[in-house]
Structure 1
Amino acid sequence: MQLLLIIHILAGTVALMSAALAVSSAKGKKFHVLSGRTYFWSMVSIFLTAIPMSVVSSNTFLFLIAIFSFYLAFAGMRFARNRNGVPSIIDWLAIGLMVFSGISMWLLAAVYFVSKNPQYITLLVFGFIAVTLGYTDFKSYKNKTAIGKQRISRHLTNMMGGTIAVITAVLVTNVNIEPVWIWWILPTITIVPVIVWWNHRVLNN
C-alpha cells in the first residue's frame, strides 16, 4: 500500500503541473496536446492507485471520488480526440458510471447525514455535479452536438473539472481545518465560474 500511495502522490503532482501547462499554453498546439496527454495519463495513474487503496481501507467515499475524478479526465480526453461527435460503447459506459457514482454519492450522503458526518455536504455537491455533467455529456452525444465549438466546450469543462479534483486533493491532504467539507468544495466554488466564463467565450467567439 505504501508503494501505491507514493505513486498516487507522484501522479497527482505531475497531473497538477501538466494541467497548469495545458491551461496556459496555446490550444491545439503540440505543447498543449503533450501537456494534456501527460495530465490524462497521470489521472489514470491516480485512478488505478486510488481504487485499490479505497477498497483495502473500505473507504466508499474515496472510491466514488476516484470514479468521479477519473471520468472528468477521461471524458475530456475523449472530447478532444473525437472530432466527429460519434460516441463509442466506452463513452456510454463511462457516462453511465459517472451518473451511477453521482447517485451513489447522494445515497452515501443520506447515510452520512443520519450519522452526523459533515461530509454529506461534499457528497451532495459532487453528486449533483456528477449527474449534471454525465447527463450533459449524454445529451451532447445523443443529439450529435459534440462537434465544433460544442466539442471544445465539453473538452474544456471536463478537463478543468478534473483539474479541480486534483487541486482539491492537494488541499484536503495538506490543510487541516474544520469543517473539513469547506476545503472539499472551495476549489469547485472558486473555479467553476471561470469555467462558465471560458465556455461562454468558446461558444460565442
Structure 2
Amino acid sequence: MKNIIQIILIIHIFSGAIALISGAIAIATQKGKVKHKKSGKIYAMAMLIVFVTGISIASYQFNRFLFLIAFLSYYSVFSGVRILELKKLHQGQNPQWYDWFAGIINFIANLAFVAIAIHYALKPETNVAGVLLSAGFGLGGMYLSYVNMKPFVKRPTHVAHWYTYHLGNMMGAYIATFTAFLSTMVTRFELMNPFIAFALPSLIGIPLLVYWTHKTEVKFKMK
C-alpha cells in the first residue's frame, strides 16, 4: 500500500507543478485569447488530478489540511469552469444537477471542518493554530458554495455576470494551491515562518483579485 501511495504522491506533486505553471500563464496572458484558454484547460485538468490524488493521500494519512485544500481548490476550479457554460443564467438558463451537487458536497465537507474546529476548541489542550485553520477555511469553503449557488436561485441581471465568477473562482483556486505548495515547502525545508508562508499567497493574491474584479465591474459597468 505504501508503494501505491508513493506513486500517487509523485503524480500529485507533478500535477501540482503543472497546475502552478499553467495557472500562472493563464493569469499573465490576455483573457479570452488562445494562450489563455489553452493554459486554462491544462490548469483545470492538472487540478482535477491534484484533487483526486490529494484526496487519496489525505485519506490514507488522515491529513485534514490536505483534504480541505484539495476540496476548496478543486471546487473553485470546477465552478470557474462551469460558469463558462452557464453564461445565460440571467436569461433563465438552468444549472445542471451536478452544479448543485458539487456545491452541496463542498458545503458539507467544509461544515465538517468547522465542527472539527469546535471539537478541538473545547479540549483542555487546545491547538489554537489548528482551530483557526479549520474554522477559517471551513467557513470560507461554506461561503464559497453559497456564492456559487446563489445565482442559481437569485438570477444575475448583467450579461457579463459570469466573468467575475470565473475570475474569482480560478484566482481563488490558484491562491489555495500556491498556499498548499508554499506551506509544504516551508514545513519540509524550513524556509520561513510557517504562518507567513500560509498567509503570504492570500496577502498578495486577494488584493490582486479585488483589483481585477473592480476593473471588470468598471469595464462592464456592473455597478
CA–CA separation in structure 2 for the residues paired with 1:112 and 1:192: 29
What pairs up with 1:1-205 in 2 under 5 angstroms?
Answer: 1-85=5-89, 86-113=94-121, 114=123, 115-117=125-127, 118-145=129-156, 148-176=159-187, 180-205=194-219
The code of the aligned residue for 2:141 comes to A
CA–CA separation in structure 2 for the residues paired with 1:121 and 1:75: 26
The code of the aligned residue for 1:19 comes to G
CA–CA separation in structure 1 for the residues paired with 2:119 and 2:52: 27
CA–CA separation in structure 1 for the residues paired with 2:113 and 2:198: 14
Taking structure 2 as the reference length, the TM-score comes to 0.84
Write out per-residue CA displacement over residues 137-184 of structure 1, whole angstroms, 9 at most, x where no aligned residue. Answer: 111221222863221100000000110111111111111368744433
> CA offset at residue 60 of structure 1?
3.3
The code of the aligned residue for 2:163 comes to I
Rg larger for: 2
CA–CA separation in structure 1 for the residues paired with 2:79 and 2:85: 10
Aligned CA-pair RMSD: 1.9
> CA offset at residue 112 of structure 1?
3.4
> CA offset at residue 124 of structure 1?
2.0
CA–CA separation in structure 1 for the residues paired with 2:37 and 2:16: 19
Taking structure 1 as the reference length, the TM-score comes to 0.91
**May I ask how many residue pairs the two structures share in their alignment?**
205
Write out per-residue CA displacement over residues 70-91 of structure 1, whole angstroms, 9 at most, x where no aligned residue. Answer: 1011111111232223311111
Write out per-residue CA displacement over residues 33-73 of structure 1, whole angstroms, 9 at most, x where no aligned residue. Answer: 11111000000000110111111112234223211111011
> CA offset at residue 119 of structure 1?
2.0
SS at match of 2:32: coil
CA contact (8 A) 1:122 1:181 kept: no
SS at match of 2:160: helix
The code of the aligned residue for 2:218 comes to N
Shift in alpha-carbon separation, 1:66–1:37, aligned structure 2, 3 A: same
> CA offset at residue 125 of structure 1?
1.9
Q: Which moved more, 1:151-160 or 1:108-117?
A: 108-117
Shift in alpha-carbon separation, 1:182–1:127, aligned structure 2, 3 A: farther
CA contact (8 A) 1:16 1:167 kept: yes
Please list every run of 5 or more consecutive structure 1 residues that lacks an aligned counterpart in the other structure.
none
Write out per-residue CA displacement over residues 96-138 of structure 1, whole angstroms, 9 at most, x where no aligned residue. Answer: 1221122122112223333422222222221222122211111
Runs of 4+, deviation exceeding 4 Å? none
